[in-house]
Structure 1
């Protein structure tokens, strides 16, 4: 499904207003210190990728499947320091490796099936240098955060620099069979009382699901965080954040 939230330029305008620089950005900005090459897989509008590139001496590549998001990234001040690539995180192969491969903003959750998630993990492995590390975040399904995305609980007022005051809210449906959450995002513009909306789908793989895929993808997790404050993962943690590296290839027995 083509998600208008990321592909419709009029909706992409709201992305940085709603998300912006958050705790994950702070953590990843610190983690990137000392790295010379970074792949931001699912870079969106490029806020983080540009910040990392501006630290100097780093090769930074931002990949995203949404052309409208990349248009914003290219026009961002400092955007010329990043190489932007339109591509699918399941299949893209850049034929180069990086000290750090990251997916932030719960980008991993757009991969809806186990096959898609495994393909994305294999993309991470394909782009890791021998000493490189990866990190990404996915919401813990045990916390059931989607229950907070009802219209009553999610209603909020934001200010758009060109459109003025905007009333925003979400609505949500959860499929317990697949674990996929489908949610709607609405923006009602006060100036003309018009409303624009988008429908999105995301998956909530469990900790056990992720563990089972890592070895198959050729990855080893060194630590599991439960939040961007550095807490360890447990069943009550809001996030599942694996940090790891390439697995060690099996040694062939002597002949």
Structure 2
């Protein structure tokens, strides 16, 4: 599966730096909703630690122990308190409810089966306080992009980053798209100029199409109340890069 891809929290943050617009959006949603926040697939705490620093009681649930370790380090460095829990977003019981539940940065797309997505939504529903909201973002699938997933290994120059131990790490990706499963399966290879494939990690991501998402939410006891197309809250269209969704209990 994708465990090796998430086996180094600091490498992950160097691979995907920035994200200030997404952080600002989720901080604003936490402020608008008020109260407690739960993030599923909380990763290295990239969004949750800033939200906790705003004074919200926060809990992060993450499957990868390595990502959790990096999240704990970040929270400790900033002097903020976050409850970190290792767990699976499909099935968990934290014994309480939350005013805001977040599933950010395409984390939902690690669930490849529709039944797993619905199970996640049902579990979210059980953890929503009265008036609580689920906010999530997933990419808006592009048929053109999916058609280019032909299994050919290609260099992603924009993803190159500096590693303190190895120098510049280059990133090559080879992907295929399984249309029946709606899953893109990739192999990510990290190399230096002196050494090829110092890390090779598989990564599979599901596509959830725009008409499909409200149905999956409904099966999980939730309903879509707002959907934006980018972090500026532009209206969602077929050309939007994101499906940025605000959901409530049905």
Matched, 1:171 2:170: no
**Partners of 2:18 and 2:171 in 1: CA distance:** 19
Distance in 2 (CA, whole Å) between partners of 1:160 and 1:197 is: 16
Higher mean Cα deviation, 221-230 or 89-98? 221-230
Distance between the aligned counterparts of 2:193 and 2:81, measured in 1? 37
Shift of 1:13: 2.9
TM normalised by structure 1 equals 0.88
Q: Distance in 2 between matches of 1:142 and 1:193?
A: 31
The two structures have a TM-score, normalised by structure 2, of 0.89
Instruction: Please state whether the residue corresponding to 1:109 is helix, strand or coil.
Output: helix
Partner of 1:140: 140
Partner of 1:251: none
RMSD of equivalent CA atoms: 2.0
Displacement of 1:86 in angstroms is 0.2
1:30 maps to 28
Check the 8 A contact 1:139/1:240 in 2, yes or no. Answer: yes
Match of 1:49 in 2: 48
2:13 to 16, 24, 33: 16
**Does structure 1 residue 114 correspond to structure 2 residue 101?**
no
User: Tell me, which stretches of 5 or more residues in structure 2 are unaligned?
Assistant: none
Instruction: Report if the CA contact (8 A) 1:21-1:47 is conserved.
Output: no
| Per-residue deviation, residues 139-194 of structure 1 (Å, max 9, x unmatched) | 22245445677644623421123332111121110011111100111111346555
| 1:253 corresponds to | none
Separation in 2, partners of 1:79, 1:20: 21
Shift in CA distance, 180/50, structure 1 to aligned 2, threshold 3 Å: same
Residue 231 (1) aligns with residue 234 (2):
yes
Displacement of 1:116: 0.6
Structure 1 unaligned runs (5+)? 248-255
Shift of the alpha carbon at 1:44? 0.3
CA distance in 1, matches of 2:156, 2:200: 14
Q: Distance in 1 between matches of 2:148 and 2:11?
A: 20
Distance 1:136 1:127, change over 3 A: same
Q: Is the 8 A contact 1:164 1:191 kept in 2?
A: no
How far apart are residue 80 of structure 1 and its match? 5.4
Of 220, 233, 246 in structure 1, the residue corresponding to residue 249 of structure 2 is 246
Find the aligned partners of 1:208 and 1:49 in 2 and give their Cα distance.
29
1:187 to 1:112, Cα distance in 2 relative to 1, 3 A = same
Task: Write out per-residue CA displacement over residues 178-212 of structure 1, whole angstroms, 9 at most, x where no aligned residue.
Answer: 11100111111346555211001111011221111
